[in-house]
Every structure is written in C-alpha cells, then in structure tokens.
Structure 1
Amino acid sequence: MDELADLFPGFGQMHVETPAGRIFVRLGGKGPPLLLLHGYPQTHVMWHRVAPALADHFSLVIADLPGYGRSDIPETDTNHTPYTKRAMGNAMVAVMEKLGHAKFCLAGHDRGGRVAYRLALDHPDKVERVAVLDILPTYDYWATLNRISALRIYHWTFLAQPSPVPEKLISADPEGYFGPVFAAGFDARAVSHYLTALHDPRRVKALCEDYRAGAYQDFDHDKADLDRKRQIAVPLHVIWGSKGIASGATASPIETWKRWATTVTGEAVAAGHFMCEENPRATESALLGFLQS
C-alpha cells in the first residue's frame, strides 16, 4: 500500500500492539484526544477531508478497525467473536491506553459508530463524549426490519450469510461489487485505498465476519443492555445524512437514541450516508459544535 497517495500530510503513522493484533493508526493535531473510527467498506482514509479542521482542536487518533485497512486480521471463531463490536471496542481502548490516553472523545461512522456506542456502554470511564454518524443501534435495525428497510440495507443480510458464499461472490469481482458505492463525491485517491484493501480476500472475509457478528452477538449484547435499561452515560450526538440510511427510519434518529443514552442531541447534514466525503464542511462543523460544547 506504500504506493498509494498520502492523504494525511503532516500526520504520523504507526501500528499499536493490542490483544486483537496490530492496529494501524494515523496521529496528528493538538489538544484533547479524539478517536475516529471508520465504517464499511472503507478504512481510516474516510476521515481525510475532515481531519485537518478537527486537528486544529484535537489530538487525533484515526484507526483502522481490526481486519480493515492496514490493521491485522484476527482469526475468527464460530461465534465471530473477534469481530463483535465489544471486541473491537476493547481493541480501541487498548490502543488509546498504549498512546497514553486514559479518557477521550470518540466519533464513529457506520460500523465505526457501532464500535463507538458499544465502547461507550462497556467502558463509560474511558469516554467523555461520543458522536455516531448515520446509524441507529444494531438492535433497532434487526428488530424493525421489514420489506422497505431490508431493501435499503440489503448488505446486512447478504454479508451475514454463512461463509464462504458472500466472500466468493464479492472476491470474484470486488470492483464490480464495491465500485458503485464509491460512485459520487469521493476522492479517487481515497477510492484507491479502499479498493486496494478490498482486493484482499482475507479482508473481504473480515468484513463479512463483522456483519455476522452484528447479526448474532452484537444483537444479543444490545438486547441485554436494553433489557437491563443500561444506557450510555456520557453525552451522545447523532449526525445523520439528510439522504442517508438513518434518515429512512420511521422515528427520528434522536428519538431512537434516547432509549440508549441519557443525554442525546443530534442534527442532519445535507448528504447521503458517506457524509465525511460528500459534505465534509457541514460534517466537521457538526462534530466540532458537539465536541467543543
């Protein structure tokens, strides 16, 4: 991947050893620590358009999730345990501790948003504020899935199918499968990063394991918290694209998240699901407005 464009000029980079293997991170900026987590089917590179503005106010740690980008690929098991959001969240806590950050702010998009809210539930002493971008809780998606929502998030059921069916179908033509996802508003250099990683069949398997974990253990972890009325205790801000996935729900994203956190605020930005690349100025403004309040 060394021949790919560096979209984080002035930022450092390193691998951090964790129980989940080595996690690749970009480091830059000044101020209190802020951990940024990417979504599917991207890597840490998805933050390249908003990172400069955030770096003026925060010390950024921009990570590749386990199995994605340049991070190590954990060996899976029959329960998909290494790819649960609990396991990924534990890996991110280990990263931040290794970097000397006992507490930090946190923002995650898509799958990274799921790691973010699970981390906030499991490690309330580590998180000061958490922002989730264009998601609703995993439990709510599965519990309310119907004909229309299933068509909107068809990849949830496809990627969660038993191995190796989705892996084989995707790896036969990764650009044909993922290319349309990156059709509008993306920097071609960033797309090269994403597709390079997605040409690796091991990483395709990892993202399928991510979704299999979502259909089983992640759902169970969410349900257990909901049944116990256990909520995120720190301020949570939900940012959704006006044409994104979370905007298609029957209830307002803010109303949905109020079941999961004690203090919820939120706002829409004029974008689809991939708001950091489609409308970076509005997205960075929404993040800074919350994180600095």
Structure 2
Amino acid sequence: MPSTTPSTKPPTIPGFAYHRIPVAADVSLNVAVGGSGGTPVVLLHGFPQTHLMWRHVATDLAADHTVICPDLRGYGASDKPAEAAELTETDAGSTYSKRTMAADIVTLARALGHERFALAGHDRGALVAFRAGLDHPGAVTHLASLDVLPTLDMWDVLHGTTAAVAFHLYLMAQPPGLPEQLIGAAPDAFFGHFLDQWARQTESTDPGTTAIPDDIRAAYLKASREAVPSIVADYRASAGIDVVHDLADRESGNRLRMPVTVLQQDWGPALGFDAAARWAAWATDLRHSTVSCGHFMAEEAPAEVTKAVRDLLTRTGRRVPPLP
C-alpha cells in the first residue's frame, strides 16, 4: 500500500535542471535551467519570493528558448553573504547593491555559455535587471520589468499617506539591528502580509484556485525567514548606494538602449504620478502597459506575461550609440 505521508521535497520547476553556479568569491547561485535554442532568457524573481514565481512563464518559454531562473544572492537557496561593514559612504551597502547583484547575473549567464541574453525581472529582480541593462548593455539584448519603478523614481514619488503602502521600504532602510530584530521576531507574519495583500483575485481566476498555492507559499515563507538579514540588506542598499548609482546615471544621461517592456498592475490615479512617463525617461525603446491583476502578475496572469515577453523578443530595437 503506498504511503500517504505528504512529501517534504521542496517544489521545483518541472522539467528544469538545477545547478549551483559560482558568481563571486563567496557567492554561488541556485539556478534552474530548462529548454534550449532561441534567445536565452534570464528570469529574476521578486520579494518575498524565489525563482519559483516564474514556474508558469518559464515552462512555456522553454518550449523554444533556453530559460534561466536563478535565486538572487541573499534569497532562496542561493548564498547569503553577510552585509559588509564598509566604512566609506560610496561603498556602504555594496554587498547587496543592484550593481553587485546585476554583475552576478552577467557572470551566471556567461558561466552557462551565454554572452548575450534577454532579461526579465519582477519587483526586486526588476531593479537588478534595470541595473544590468544600464551597466551591461552589450550583454542584455532585451529587458522586461514587472510592476516596479526604478529605485530613484520610487523614492521621488512616495510621499504623504500614500507612502504607507511602502512602509517596508522605510523599515528596512534603517541601520542594521532594529529591522532584522523586528522582522525576525515574526517572519511568517511579516512576509505573509505581502503575499496576502499584494495578490488580487480576478474574474478570470478559476474557482477554488489560487495564484500562490500552499506548497509554493510555504516555500516562499521558509526561504524568507532563513534570509532575513540578506533581504533587509538588499532593501537597505536601495535606500543608499542604489540611489547613488541611479542618480549618477540620470545626471550623465545613461539610458537603457535595448528594447524595453514594462508591465504594471493598474495602480490608478491615487498615487499621483505617471509611471509610463517615469519609465520613458530611462528607456529609448519602451512599451508600457497595465495588467489586470495584483502585484504577483507572473503567477496571477502568466499567459499575459508570457505573451509580453515573447513579443519583446521579436523586437529588434533601435541602435543607440553608447555614451562617449
């Protein structure tokens, strides 16, 4: 008689092979790789998730593309280096700066044999993708960003009571110590709050189904509670060194020179800014559209996200000369 004991094996993306790839002296990334041929596509997850958020999109794209889904440094099963205690203002937070995390991804792709690749990111992963596009334009052929603004613009638009939706940004921006203690005291409540509040069931959702099923939710919560210091360090970098890097690019006129697709949920007029205009200031070849779902669009509306990525890959873009 077969055992009825529930499996404790962590979920994976079906049909994908798993590897650990060194990307820095003290960091190896957990990565799922599937498919073959076509433009290689790297998919970067957001908060508070892992590479599993791409499971629907990744398996579809793998029919005719090589698809690479890593856990970012500090997340999931990837290594979690301690936030370095740099003393200089220009280096503080560099362990989890988006520049460092973007370099991880370029190194990862090269280790897998891809000098050039398309890049799609959601939430935190979209910020890493954005920085990779600015820092490594010769490597990133196409770029997709899901439901986020560039870091500098995010801080520009948050104000007044509407900023309450982003309370976690301010909490994790604080110096080391208090944020880690508060979140570490009740990690499942903290991270579960965002999984609950940011998802939105739509009329197209089948009855009895959920965008984030129990086993995936459990995997997200387990991974997050094991990574509190590194997740906080990632967010802390976005209130410090990432702003410095973005501001330098804004002032120099550095822009994304590859075809860019931005998808966002319909934030509505309450936040008081034009998201498409914000993105247009950074991208020379931009397509911006809204998706009728919540924040976790790759899990809530995977068909729409997959179509957008496939459409992006067909665009040849305009040749934009590099900065002198």
Q: What pairs up with 1:33-52 in 2 under 5 angstroms? A: 33-52=40-59
- 1 CA distance for matches of 2:270 and 2:126? 17
SS in 2 for 1:50: helix
- 1 CA distance for matches of 2:156 and 2:312? 29
- Which of 278, 288, 295 aligns to 1:266? It is 288
- 1 CA distance for matches of 2:11 and 2:254? 42
- Which of 30, 35, 54 aligns to 2:61? It is 54
Q: What pairs up with 1:197-212 in 2 under 5 angstroms? A: 197-200=223-226, 203-212=227-236
Residues 23, 63 of structure 1: 8 Å contact kept: yes
- 2 CA distance for matches of 1:291 and 1:171? 41
Report how far residue 180 of structure 1 moved: 2.6
Q: Counterpart of 2:244?
A: 220
SS in 2 for 1:75: coil
Q: Counterpart of 2:205?
A: none
Residues 236, 264 of structure 1: 8 Å contact kept: yes
Q: Counterpart of 1:233?
A: 257
Are 1:285 and 2:269 an aligned pair?
A: no
Q: Counterpart of 1:251?
A: 273
Taking a change above 3 Å as real, the CA distance of residues 217 and 62 of structure 1, as seen in their structure-2 partners, is same
Which letter maps to 2:149?
L
- 2 CA distance for matches of 1:112 and 1:70? 15
Are 1:193 and 2:223 an aligned pair?
A: no
SS in 1 for 2:68: strand
Report how far residue 243 of structure 1 moved: 4.7
Are 1:22 and 2:28 an aligned pair?
A: yes
Taking structure 2 as the reference length, what is the TM-score of the superposition? 0.85
Deviations 1:76-96 (A, max 9, x none): 223121100000000111101
Unpaired runs of at least 5, structure 2 = 1-6, 86-91, 200-210, 316-324
- 2 CA distance for matches of 1:119 and 1:249? 28
Which letter maps to 1:61?
I
Report how far residue 196 of structure 1 moved: 1.1
SS in 2 for 1:238: strand
Are 1:3 and 2:27 an aligned pair?
A: no
Report how far residue 188 of structure 1 moved: 1.3
Aligned residues: 288
Q: Counterpart of 2:82?
A: 75
SS in 2 for 1:141: helix
Residues 239, 267 of structure 1: 8 Å contact kept: yes
Residues 261, 308 of structure 2: 8 Å contact kept: no
| Range with bigger deviation, 248-257 or 22-31 | 248-257
- 2 CA distance for matches of 1:133 and 1:83? 20
Which letter maps to 1:260?
W
Determine what percentage of the aligned residue pairs are the same residue: 38
- Which of 84, 92, 99 aligns to 2:112? It is 99
Residues 38, 65 of structure 1: 8 Å contact kept: yes
Report how far residue 249 of structure 1 moved: 4.5
Unpaired runs of at least 5, structure 1 = none
- 2 CA distance for matches of 1:141 and 1:109? 15
- Which of 71, 89, 98 aligns to 2:102? It is 89
- 2 CA distance for matches of 1:21 and 1:175? 26
Report how far residue 145 of structure 1 moved: 2.1
Taking structure 1 as the reference length, what is the TM-score of the superposition? 0.93
Q: What pairs up with 1:135-154 in 2 under 5 angstroms? A: 135-154=148-167
Which letter maps to 1:218?
D
- 1 CA distance for matches of 2:155 and 2:267? 21
Report how far residue 248 of structure 1 moved: 5.8
User: Aligned Cα RMSD in Å?
Assistant: 1.7
Deviations 1:137-170 (A, max 9, x none): 1001112320134112111101111121111111
